[in-house]
């Protein structure tokens, strides 16, 4: 089965947390990268989301930040979620 890393701009709050939980619940997502201005571990995420999550302190829109993501990608696919995106992966996502 193909593997997928989901990358989201993470800010403590309901919207970011809901998106992180939704993506982590998908069996297609093997890794979840939470990008933020601070490298602090997010609070309030489920055990499943925490097990898939990695926190990266970076600027989501900078070339250097994107290069860092691409260099560290070890999965088949990389899904970049912009701030404010609302999505849910279906059965045939990959």
Range 67-94 average pLDDT = 76
Interval 21-74: pLDDT, tens: 888 998 889 999 888 776 667 778 899 999 998 888 777 677 777 777 777 778
Q: Is residue 92 part of a domain?
A: no
| Residue 5 near residue 70, CB atoms below 8 Å | no
Q: Is residue 31 part of a domain?
A: yes
pLDDT of residue 81: 83
CATH number of the domain encompassing residue 53: 3.40.50
Containing structural domain, residue 51: 4-81
Q: Is residue 19 part of a domain?
A: yes
The single-letter DSSP state of residue 14 is H
| Residue 69 near residue 46, CB atoms below 8 Å | no
pLDDT at 94 over 70: no
Which residue bears the tokens 């912009």? 82
The C-alpha atoms of residue 57 and residue 35 are separated, in whole angstroms, by 6
Q: Is residue 77 part of a domain?
A: yes
Best CA proximity match to 58, nearest among 49, 67, 47: 67
Q: Is residue 89 part of a domain?
A: no
How many structural domains is the chain composed of?
A: 1
pLDDT at 90 over 80: no
Q: Is residue 94 part of a domain?
A: no
Q: Is residue 86 part of a domain?
A: no
pLDDT at 6 over 70: yes
């Amino acid at each position: 089965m193909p593997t997928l890393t989901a990358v989201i701009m993470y800010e403590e709050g309901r919207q970011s947390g809901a998106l992180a939980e939704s993506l982590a619940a998908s069996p297609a997502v093997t890794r979840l990268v939470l990008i933020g201005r601070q490298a602090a571990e997010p609070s309030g995420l489920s055990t499943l989301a925490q097990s898939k999550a990695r926190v990266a302190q970076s600027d989501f829109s900078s070339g250097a930040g994107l290069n860092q993501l691409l260099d560290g990608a070890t999965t088949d696919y990389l899904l970049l979620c912009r701030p404010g995106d609302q999505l849910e992966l279906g059965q045939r996502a990959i």
